[in-house]
Amino acid sequence: MEYQDLAKKDFQYLWHPFTQMSDFTSCPPLIIERGEGIYLIDTQGNRYIDGVSSLWVNLHGHRRPEIDQAIEDQLDKIAHSTMLGMANVPAVLLAERLVEKTPENLTRVFFSDNGSTAMEIALKIAYQYWTNKGVSGKTRFVSLKNAYHGDTLGAVSVGGIDLFHSIYRPLLFPAYHAPSPYCYRCPLDKSYPACALACLEELEKMVESHRDEVIAIVSESAVQGAAGMIVMPQGYMRGLREIADKYGVPLILDEVAMGFGRTGKMWACEHEKAWPDIMALSKGITNGYLPLAATLTTEEIYSSFLGDYTKTFYHGHSYTGNPLACAAALANLEIFDRDKTLEQLPPKIQLLSQWLEKFQELSHVGDTRQKGLVAGIELVKDKATKEPYPREETVGFQVIYKARDKGVAIRPLGDVIVIMPPLVIPEGELDRLMEVIYECVKVVTEG
Ligand X SMILES: *Cc1c(COP(=O)(O)O)cnc(C)c1O
- Neighbour order of strands in the sheet with 408-409: 32-36, 39-42, 47-50, 408-409
Report the residue number whose CB is nearest to ligand X.
115
Give the one residue of 35, 61, 154, 225 binding ligand X; rule: CB under 6 A. Answer: 225
**Is residue 166 classed as helix, strand or coil in its secondary structure?**
helix
Strands 39-42 and 47-50, bridge-based pairing: antiparallel
How many whole angstroms separate alpha carbon 409 and alpha carbon 49? 6
Question: Which of 271, 333, 296, 323 is CA-nearest to residue 59?
Answer: 333
How many residues bind ligand X, per CB under 6 A?
A: 15
Give the one residue of 150, 154, 233, 376 binding ligand X; rule: CB under 6 A. Answer: 150
Any contact of residue 282 with ligand X (CB under 6 A)? yes
Q: Which stretch binds ligand X (CB under 6 A): 71-79, 219-227, 316-324, 367-375?
A: 219-227
How many whole angstroms separate alpha carbon 122 and alpha carbon 116? 10
**Nearer of residues 279 and 365 to ligand X, judged by Cβ:** 279
**Is residue 353 classed as helix, strand or coil in its secondary structure?**
helix
Give the one residue of 49, 106, 119, 216 binding ligand X; rule: CB under 6 A. Answer: 119
**Nearer of residues 83 and 226 to ligand X, judged by Cβ:** 226
**Nearer of residues 216 and 365 to ligand X, judged by Cβ:** 216
Any contact of residue 418 with ligand X (CB under 6 A)? no
Any contact of residue 148 with ligand X (CB under 6 A)? yes
Cβ pair 222, 215 in contact under 8 A = no
Write the DSSP string, 403-446.
HHHTTEE---BTTEEEE---TT--HHHHHHHHHHHHHHHHHHHH
**Nearer of residues 274 and 365 to ligand X, judged by Cβ:** 274
How many whole angstroms separate alpha carbon 324 and alpha carbon 302? 26
Any contact of residue 120 with ligand X (CB under 6 A)? no
Any contact of residue 413 with ligand X (CB under 6 A)? no
Any contact of residue 372 with ligand X (CB under 6 A)? no
Any contact of residue 257 with ligand X (CB under 6 A)? yes
Q: How far is the CB of 115 from ligand X (least distance, A)?
A: 2
Q: How far is the CB of 160 from ligand X (least distance, A)?
A: 12
**Which phi and psi angles does 65 have, rounded to 5°?**
-55, -40
Any contact of residue 182 with ligand X (CB under 6 A)? no
Long-range (24+ apart) CB contacts under 8 A made by 206-212 are: 206/142, 206/176, 206/178, 207/142, 207/243, 207/247, 207/249, 208/247, 210/140, 210/142, 210/176, 211/247, 211/249, 212/137, 212/138
Any contact of residue 95 with ligand X (CB under 6 A)? no
Angstrom CA distances, 269 to 99, 103, 251, 351, stand at 15, 9, 11, 23
**Nearer of residues 182 and 389 to ligand X, judged by Cβ:** 182
Q: Which stretch binds ligand X (CB under 6 A): 24-32, 148-156, 329-337, 360-368?
A: 148-156
Any contact of residue 415 with ligand X (CB under 6 A)? no
**Nearer of residues 149 and 165 to ligand X, judged by Cβ:** 149
**Nearer of residues 256 and 325 to ligand X, judged by Cβ:** 256
**Nearer of residues 123 and 433 to ligand X, judged by Cβ:** 123
Cross-strand bridge partners of residue 254? 220, 280
Give the one residue of 42, 50, 120, 220 binding ligand X; rule: CB under 6 A. Answer: 220
Q: How far is the CB of 257 from ligand X (least distance, A)?
A: 3
Give the one residue of 50, 120, 204, 254 binding ligand X; rule: CB under 6 A. Answer: 254
Any contact of residue 51 with ligand X (CB under 6 A)? no
Any contact of residue 103 with ligand X (CB under 6 A)? no
Any contact of residue 145 with ligand X (CB under 6 A)? no
**Nearer of residues 155 and 199 to ligand X, judged by Cβ:** 155
**Nearer of residues 151 and 334 to ligand X, judged by Cβ:** 151
Q: How far is the CB of 326 from ligand X (least distance, A)?
A: 16
Write the DSSP string, 301-351.
HHHTT-SSGGGS-----TTTT-HHHHHHHHHHHHHHHHHTTGGGHHHHHHH
CA 394, chain centre distance (Å):
23
Any contact of residue 256 with ligand X (CB under 6 A)? yes
Other CB atoms within 10 Å distance of the CB of residue 210: 14
**Nearer of residues 181 and 389 to ligand X, judged by Cβ:** 181
How many whole angstroms separate alpha carbon 150 and alpha carbon 174? 16
Cβ pair 324, 74 in contact under 8 A = yes
Question: Which of 248, 296, 251 is CA-nearest to residue 273?
Answer: 251
Q: How far is the CB of 253 from ligand X (least distance, A)?
A: 10
Residues at the site binding ligand X, with contacts judged by CB under 6 A: 114-116, 119, 148-150, 220, 225-226, 254, 256-257, 282-283
